[in-house]
Amino acid sequence: KSVAWILTFSPHQLLLSRSKGSPDRKAQSAFSMLREVTSRPQHRMLRLRCKTKNGSHIMQGLTHQSCVQELKTKVEELTGIACDVQKIMVGYPPSSLDLRNGDAHLKDYPIKSGDTLIVEEEQNKPKPQDHLVVKVPRLEASPVLVRRVVPADNSCLFTSIYYVVEGGVYDPACAPEMRGLISQIVSSDPAAYSEAVLGKTNEDYCTWIRRDDTWGGAIEVSILSKFYQCEICVVDTQTVRVDRFGEDAGYHKRVLLIYDGIHYDPLQKVMPGSESPPQTIFSTTDDIILAQALELADEARRKRQFTDVNRFALRCMVCQTGLVGQKEAREHAKETGHTNFGEV
């Protein structure tokens, strides 16, 4: 934006110097100085998002040289939360920023490009008291890991992954876009995504995955893990194990899904009794969150909240043939081309 301002501020001067072949030294000097300044890391625009319980916003116009008051003003413009009652958190797990010094620069805070700032409104800010008030300490509630149920509409995997990588944004309309994304990635690399990997030709797979009546699985999770540059952990409720996609890729972020044999749901950490946004992105060094996810899976297993894909009864919705388990369904699909099955 700074470069554009300089050019529009003195276009005739710059154009004249070029056309006559005798550059204006002042204009050249100013342009060189501007280019040098804006190329410094502290002057580069920060790519930030801020998220509240009402949604997320893209935040533009800030650099590491911006002051705290500029940040708070920008947050107020986007969210409507007044500067003096803002609570801004960043990182995984989120930690509050001390923003009392409005003149401090953002470079002095753990804010980097690509971060999502979680913004809450402080409801009970302390007010000055004329007399001594003795407060009785109360136990703070701890966040808990829970399942966020999404519709069983053949696209639960895509809805679930979008929900966790976007920090708790529920958008069932995302499925066609994500299916199209996977199709583009697969078609662009037929060597890596061959018939041996996909179970069908590259072209047939790309057509198949775009349909809204097909299910995603391990192949799609692996592709989306690479695309979003994060580890996707799928917790299986029947076997009580975790399949970690992108485990050895060196990613710093981790998201969690729970799988019952035929359906995926996202996992999130929420604060009981609070309207704070859920936490869906965790550090790959956080082994406690994996243990908590396994506890959820084990609880679901004890309650028989899973489907044994090797034994459950199916019916082909095209020819009404009765089938048992995933293996028979796969063989039937190869023999007939029918891929629409329903559980009996």
3-state secondary structure of 219: helix
Backbone angles phi, psi at 105, to 5 degrees: -90, 150
d(CA 245, CA 248): 8
Contact assessment for residue 250 and residue 226, using Cβ atoms and an 8 Å cutoff: no
The string over 43-69, giving b where at least 16 C-beta atoms fall within 10 Å of a residue's C-beta and e elsewhere, is eeebebbbbbeeebbebeebbbebbbe
d(CA 339, CA 253): 35
Q: Quote the tokens at residue 337.
A: 């081309």
C-alpha 125, offset from chain centre: 31
Contact assessment for residue 117 and residue 89, using Cβ atoms and an 8 Å cutoff: yes
Q: Which helix (H) or strand (E) holds 241?
A: strand 241-245
Contact assessment for residue 245 and residue 234, using Cβ atoms and an 8 Å cutoff: yes
Contact assessment for residue 315 and residue 322, using Cβ atoms and an 8 Å cutoff: yes
Contact assessment for residue 245 and residue 231, using Cβ atoms and an 8 Å cutoff: yes
**Which ranges of 139-273 would DSSP assign to H, the alpha helix?**
156-165, 175-187, 195-198, 202-209, 218-228
- Residues with a catalytic annotation lie at 153, 156, 263, 338
- Residue located via tokens 């690399």: 189
